[in-house]
Amino acid sequence: MPRASTTSDPFNAVAEPRRRHILEFLAAEERAVGDIADALELNQPSVSKHLGVLLDVGLVNARRDGRRTLYRTNADGLRGIHEWTGLFEQYWRSQLRRIKSHAEGRK
C-alpha cells in the first residue's frame, strides 16, 4: 500500500515543504495564485495544485475576485497538529530538565 493520500488529512498536507511555505505566505492576508507563484518562485500550475490539496483538507479558504482567486490560510485547520504535538510537551520538558540538572552537576 502506498502512502496515504495527501488530501486525507492536514498531517499529510503539511508534509510537503512548499505547501508549508504557501501556508506561511497566506497566513496574514489573502493572495492571488499568481502572486504566490511569483513570491515563492513556483510555476502557476504547481501552485494551483498545491492549493487544491490545501483546500481539500481545509487549510486554506478560497474566494473569487474577478478573474483571480484569492486564497488565505485557515489557521484553525492547524490546531489539530499543534495540539497533537502538544501532547508530548511534558516529555520534552522533563527531558530538558534532566539535561539541565545533569549539566549543573546535580543528580
Radius of gyration of the chain (CA): 19
Q: Of a copy of itself, DNA, none, which one does residue 14 interact with (CB within 5 to 8 Å by kind)?
A: a copy of itself
Interface residue with a copy of itself among 41, 65, 89, 104 (CB under 8 A) is: 89
In the complex, least distance from residue 58 CB atom to a copy of itself, rounded to whole angstroms: 12
Name which of residues 4 to 63 contact DNA (CB under 7 A). Answer: 4-7, 12, 15-16, 18, 32-35, 42-53, 62
Binding site residues, a copy of itself, CB under 8 A:
3-4, 6, 11-12, 14-17, 20, 23-24, 27-28, 73, 75-76, 78-79, 81-82, 84-89, 91-92, 95-96
